[in-house]
Amino acid sequence: MILALKRNPGDAFDRFLVKNYNYSVEDLQELRAIRFLYDGDLMNAAETFTLAGGNAERPLQADPFMIHIKDCHRCDIKTPHTKYTKGSFADRMLALSQAAQGPGDAAAQASFDLANGFYNMSFYGNGRDIYETKHDNFSPGGWVYFPGPNPNPNPNSELAFCMDLAEKYYLQAANLYSNRELKAQAVFMAAKTEQNRFFNALRDGKGNPPRNYFTMLKDSYSNTQYYQEIISECETFRSYIAR
């Protein structure tokens, strides 16, 4: 409706509204594309970014498919990496979603890369600039690492904290991989989504976090090299297995 009004204001009052409305057509298309992207509607996201003009061409600071045991956003920004824009990121996500269908290691790797994209475009990943706009529509600007009820005053930013799609595709990758090292990596990343969801729900850090995937790692992948790497780098996991 707003887009239609912008394109064809009917009378003097409509023209007044359009003249004083702070969003361009490209801004509105960018908002639609971001919404599609975070809903997992990748076809519509990629198509709508083509209508967002220069907003879709803003470069991302880091490779949104890069992942580590310990998140380090500044490290990812400084490390030489493949360059993406919002638009090219959405295109790659769409291609990965298509490649992730079916059996085998190729689909497993596509699922893992797709999960990395969903993880990194969240608040917890290196691609926060994917949801950032000139109007800060989705930005959790008031979100702070302190206890207290409702620390984030922007309800639209809840999409930035959602881990569901990342978890879904990490688990899909774990099920499809034939290599146990890669299975362990996918399960650990699923554990990170579980931990982030817990932290988002209880930001004071109190309560007992779920450890479904930590348990899976301990029970099924303790003989992998990646398991030893997790122990070396992840204090939370070291504490869990030391109990």
**Which of these, 196, 193, 184, lies nearest to 224 by C-alpha position?**
184
Burial label for 23, CB within 10 Å (0-12, 13-18, 19+), is middle
CB 27 within 8 A of CB 55: yes
Q: What is the pLDDT of residue 132?
A: 93
149, pLDDT greater than 50: no
* pLDDT digits 0-9 by tens, 53-92: 999 999 999 999 999 999 988 899 999 999 999 999 999 9
Closest CA to 24 of 62, 43, 50, 51: 51
Name the residue with higher pLDDT: 17 or 162.
162
Helix axes 212-220, 180-201, angle to 10 degrees: 160
Helices then strands, counting H and E runs in the chain, come out as 12, 0
Q: What is the pLDDT of residues 184-233, one digit of tens each?
A: 999 999 999 999 999 887 765 566 788 999 999 999 999 999 999 999 99
* Residue with the larger pLDDT of the pair 155 and 7: 155
Predicted local distance difference test score (pLDDT) of residue 13: 33
The mean pLDDT value for 161-167 works out to: 96
Chain segment 107-140, per-residue pLDDT in tens: 999 999 999 999 999 999 999 999 999 888 888 8
What is the reported pLDDT for 140? 80
Dihedral, 121, 123, 129, 135 alpha carbons, nearest 10 = 120
Q: Which amino acid, residue 137?
A: N
At residue 85, what are phi and psi to the nearest 5 degrees?
Answer: -110, 175
Q: What is the pLDDT of residues 21-33, one digit of tens each?
A: 477 889 989 999 9
pLDDT at 152: 53
Higher-confidence residue of 3 and 116: namely 116
Whether residue 19 is predicted with pLDDT greater than 70 in this model: the reply is no
Percent above pLDDT 70 for the chain: 83
What's the pTM value of the predicted model, to 2 decimals? 0.88
